[in-house]
Amino acid sequence: MPLAPYACDPARTRGRRFDEPAAPTRTEFQRDRDRIVHSTAFRRLVYKTQVFLNHEGDLFRTRLTHSLEVAQLGRSIARPLGLNEDLVEAIALAHDLGHTPFGHAGQDALDECMREHGGFEHNLQSLRVVDALEERYPRFDGLNLCFETREGILKHCSRANAVRLEAQEPGGVGRRFLDRTQPSLEAQLCNLADEVAYNAHDIDDGVRSGLITLQQVREVPLFDCFCAETEAEFPALGGRRLLYEATRRMLSAQVYDVIDATRAALEAARPADADAARAAPPLLKFSEGMRQHSGSLKTFLFRNLYRHPQVQGTTHQARRVVRELFDAYRTQPSQMQPDFAARADSVRAVADYIAGMTDRFAAREHERLTGTRIIDSGSRIGS
């Protein structure tokens, strides 16, 4: 499939922060994807919480498997639309690199700890990982990724941080949050693929954990319709296979919906190139009906899974671990690895150090520094 005119073309990239010679056989976005896969932060994703803590069960999604699912969905949508698959994959694989241990609980706790010091945003942290924190190259910090990949990684950003970014890098990745324009279509696609992926896999993980039932998920009209369709075709089917088949059909319907709705939007707007697509309103989207369905699915998961007393219980413990780690390193920076302990920006160094931790390393460090075991790495929910 040739690239559409509105796709990001690696031959016309806005470039890297530090100039490098082109690779003989790979495009610039393929190279970015490869750099991300080889990074330390990428390997840590396997031990980071998506919804369920990493040790709660071997079959739950982690940040790594989530990122792979986002990349898969992203590529499936990118190809028929003529978008750049390599760029989509690079953004998808990197989009959660800045996540703290323990999922959103960890991020909220770290943001609170950092309130007086510029706060903590996981999207901005993902950018910090690829721009500054990875140490792999002799001539620069970070992975020196292309503008287009960095643009996609910075999914959200507060105005205050956008102003800061714009001062460091005029016309760079912070700019669109001040101009209120869109990122590339590839970046828009990753945002949507992220939502499609977690809505579907959180149903699967939720049912697997026993915290929600298949019957309960059928309150969601979109899911129920594919469940009913599956039952009509396979009356004897039940349990996990019914769950998987209904989820599979729901995923396919969402993928095809995005492709159709986006094709229609692109035909109406006819963006001449990637920059014209950035200047247009969001073109990569669900149909209005599917957008509402996806919203009700998300609401269901909030009410029944993310706010489930058992999930809330671990959330509470995770926040305490992060808070107490933060206090411990603030008073004793020498307890961190030497390159973090030596940094002049000591508070940010503590945040970077904690954000980079896997769930189990954070739990172990917390026990070592406080003598209290809050998160028991032996406990398991479901199978």
Stretch that binds Mg ion, among 38-46, 84-92, 143-151, 188-196 (CB under 5 A): 188-196
CB count within 10 Å of CB 76 equals 18
- Does 365 bind Mg ion (CB under 5 A)? Our answer is no
Which residues within the stretch 64-103 sit at the binding site for Mg ion (CB under 5 A)?
96
Shortest gap between Cβ of 97 and Mg ion (angstroms)?
10
Token pair, residue 130, equals: 């690829």
Measure the CA–CA gap between 75 and 80, rounded to whole angstroms: 9
Shortest gap between Cβ of 358 and Mg ion (angstroms)?
17
Q: Which is nearer to Mg ion, 96 or 121 (CB)?
A: 96
> Are 92 and 188 a contacting pair, CB within 8 Å?
no
Size of the site for Mg ion (CB under 5 A): 2
Q: Which is nearer to Mg ion, 4 or 124 (CB)?
A: 124
What are the CA-CA distances from residue 103 to residues 14, 57, 95, 194 (Å)?
A: 33, 15, 14, 15
Shortest gap between Cβ of 62 and Mg ion (angstroms)?
11
When binding is defined by CB under 5 A, the residue of 32, 69, 194, 359 that contacts Mg ion is 194
Measure the CA–CA gap between 130 and 94, rounded to whole angstroms: 8
Q: Which is nearer to Mg ion, 64 or 227 (CB)?
A: 64
Question: What residue type is 266 in one-letter code?
Answer: L
> Are 48 and 358 a contacting pair, CB within 8 Å?
yes
Shortest gap between Cβ of 145 and Mg ion (angstroms)?
18
Greatest Cα pair distance in the chain: 66
Shortest gap between Cβ of 35 and Mg ion (angstroms)?
19
Measure the CA–CA gap between 205 and 48, rounded to whole angstroms: 15
> Are 301 and 211 a contacting pair, CB within 8 Å?
no
Q: Which is nearer to Mg ion, 96 or 134 (CB)?
A: 96
Which residues would be at the binding site for Mg ion (CB under 5 A)? 96, 194
